[in-house]
């Protein structure tokens, strides 16, 4: 049994509560082979996201969903990066919206959709703040394949590559948390770039509390400097069964909350996205309900 520490990180003392959140839904499922994650934003909203945030005293504006073509109406331009031109167009629109949200003084909360949407979120943050954020990438997978190395051609396995190449994310200010299914080409790139990766073996050995402290020391350099890109398949399928690509042996329920609580306690979280919820594979909306709970922890909900 893995030991789970329950004290939040105190590396950056002084919690600052988020006052205003703007929600952006991106029902994208062009980045993956398995259908269903396009319904993720609706599932999260159905799990009472807005009402739950408002109970924390947060002002919430829901901007609705971006329009995303369905695969049946789209054309695969390249087999090694399926639907990439369409995905990029949606991400460009998302970037513009995220930039405007931050410029208006609100916290952007992006709901996916598959993980390819992170390209748009990160691009918008970088434009609004003048530089790319430090990134905590919670995922079972590396998502750092290129169109030339990807075994599947699915773009949801490439957003880290594009974020590093096109949106100036600094490898020295990025961490992976929860990795347990990484392609050989991805392993090589992660080592070459020097991105800090906390695999599930690292979490088992170090405990999530220490992982959060070390991650924040890497990615945070001031107020609102951290972006969390949270793929729900980072959590163990027993807790989050409704995901696009489940992998056994993931982050536990309490570890997931400890991660979000620790970042909230640091006062450095500036943006958040939740991706890869597939209601077709879920049980009684369990995964979306957990996603809302994690969002609340990230935005300041505490036991006392």
Q: Which residues are catalytic?
A: 115, 139, 141, 143, 156, 231, 233, 276
Ramachandran assignment for 302, one of left (phi > 0), alpha (psi -120 to 50 degrees), beta (any other): beta
**Residue whose entry in the numeric block shows the structure tokens 């809302």:** 292
R_g (Cα) of the chain, nearest Å:
17
Angle at 15 between CA 10 and CA 21, to 5 degrees: 130
Q: Tokens for 297?
A: 């922890």
Which residues does 160 contact at the CB level (< 8 Å), separation at least 6? Answer: 118, 137, 142, 143, 144, 174
Asked if residues 142 and 198 have their Cβ atoms less than 8 Å apart, the reply is no
Residue tagged 């924390």 (tokens): 56
Closest CA to 115 of 72, 150, 160: 160
Number of H helices, E strands in the chain: 10, 8
CA distance 254 to 275: 19
What the block records as the tokens of 137 is 């990438």
* CB atoms inside a 10 Å sphere around CB 108: 26
Beta strands in 10-86 (DSSP E): 20-26, 59-65
């Amino acid at each position: 049994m893995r030991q789970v520490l329950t004290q939040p990180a105190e590396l950056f003392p002084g919690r600052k509560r988020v006052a205003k959140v703007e929600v952006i839904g991106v029902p994208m499922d062009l980045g993956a082979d398995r259908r269903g994650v396009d319904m993720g934003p609706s599932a999260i909203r159905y799990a009472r996201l807005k009402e739950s945030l408002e109970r924390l005293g947060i002002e919430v504006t829901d901007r609705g969903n971006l329009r995303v073509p369905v695969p049946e109406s789209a054309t695969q331009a390249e087999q090694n990066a399926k639907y990439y031109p369409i995905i990029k167009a949606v991400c460009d629109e998302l970037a513009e919206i995220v930039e405007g949200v931050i410029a208006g003084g609100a916290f952007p909360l992006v709901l996916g959709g598959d993980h390819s949407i992170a390209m748009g979120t990160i691009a918008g943050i970088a434009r609004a703040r003048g530089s790319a954020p430090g990134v905590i990438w919670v995922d079972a997978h590396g998502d750092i394949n290129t169109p030339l190395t990807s075994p599947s051609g699915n773009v949801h396995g490439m957003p880290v590559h594009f974020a590093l190449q096109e949106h100036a994310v600094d490898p020295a200010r990025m961490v992976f948390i929860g990795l347990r299914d990484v392609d050989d080409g991805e392993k090589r790139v992660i080592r070459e770039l020097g991105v800090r990766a906390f695999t599930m073996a690292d979490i088992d050995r170090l405990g999530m509390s220490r992982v959060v402290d070390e991650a924040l020391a890497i990615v945070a350099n001031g107020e609102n400097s951290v972006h969390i890109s949270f793929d729900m398949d980072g959590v163990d399928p027993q807790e989050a069964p409704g995901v696009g690509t489940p992998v056994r042996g993931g982050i536990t329920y309490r570890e997931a909350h400890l991660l979000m609580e620790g970042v909230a306690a640091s006062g450095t979280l500036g943006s958040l996205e939740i991706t890869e919820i597939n209601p077709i594979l879920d049980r009684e909306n369990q995964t979306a309900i957990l996603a809302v709970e994690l969002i609340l922890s990230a935005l300041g909900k505490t036991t006392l």
